[in-house]
Amino acid sequence: MKAENINPFIESVSEVFQNMLDSKVETGTPTVDIDDKGAPDIIGVIGLSGTAQGIVALRLPVKTALSVIGKMVGTEFRGVDSSIIDGVGELVNIVAGNAKAKFRGHSISLSLPTVVRGSIYKLNNLSNTVWLTVPFDSAYGAFSVSVCFKPAVVSEKEAEHASAYSR
């Protein structure tokens, strides 16, 4: 994956945490995930389609999710409930939406977010892609964003159609 394809997600995470949570994030070194096996986290997943295809996975340890979503909604959470699950879905939607706006030359649509909780899962990447995972640290705890991304092969007419409907 090219840096130009991961940078919008890194920038989006920084902006979302600064603007919504009044917190800076420290960005770690991106790594390629060979075996994307589950960890006991809460993961918000959203698909990308259009002139590029991909998947974005926001991975938050439970403690980080409770802190981040608590700050977003102005309440303290002691355990995972539907508000936390909904909040993680909204957070990945905001991060992906902000990143989408940063892509030049691509017309990208977002799927509805899905939230997975637990450690028995495996996220499959798109064919001919790898997961690139960027670790972050914040005042609310550590978390990461994993992305697999590739330009789609589409006709000029399909690209125009996607552009008209992705605003």
H or E segment at 147? strand 141-151
Tell me the pTM. 0.83
Query: Tell me: the pLDDT tens digits for 9-66?
Result: 999 999 999 999 999 999 999 988 755 555 668 999 999 888 888 889 999 999 999 9
**What mean pLDDT value characterizes the chain?**
84
Q: How confident is the model at residue 167 (pLDDT cuts 50, 70, 90)?
A: very low
pLDDT surpassing 70 at residue 151: yes
Name the nearest CA neighbour of 42 among 21, 23, 57, 27.
57
Predicted pLDDT of residue 142 = 95
CA 14, 98, 85, 114 dihedral sign is negative
Query: Tell me: the pLDDT tens digits for 113-135?
Result: 999 997 766 666 666 667 889 99
CATH value of 3-159 in 3.40.1550.10, 3.40.980.10, 3.40.50.2300, 3.40.630.10: 3.40.1550.10
Give the Cα separation of 47 and 57 in Å (integer): 9
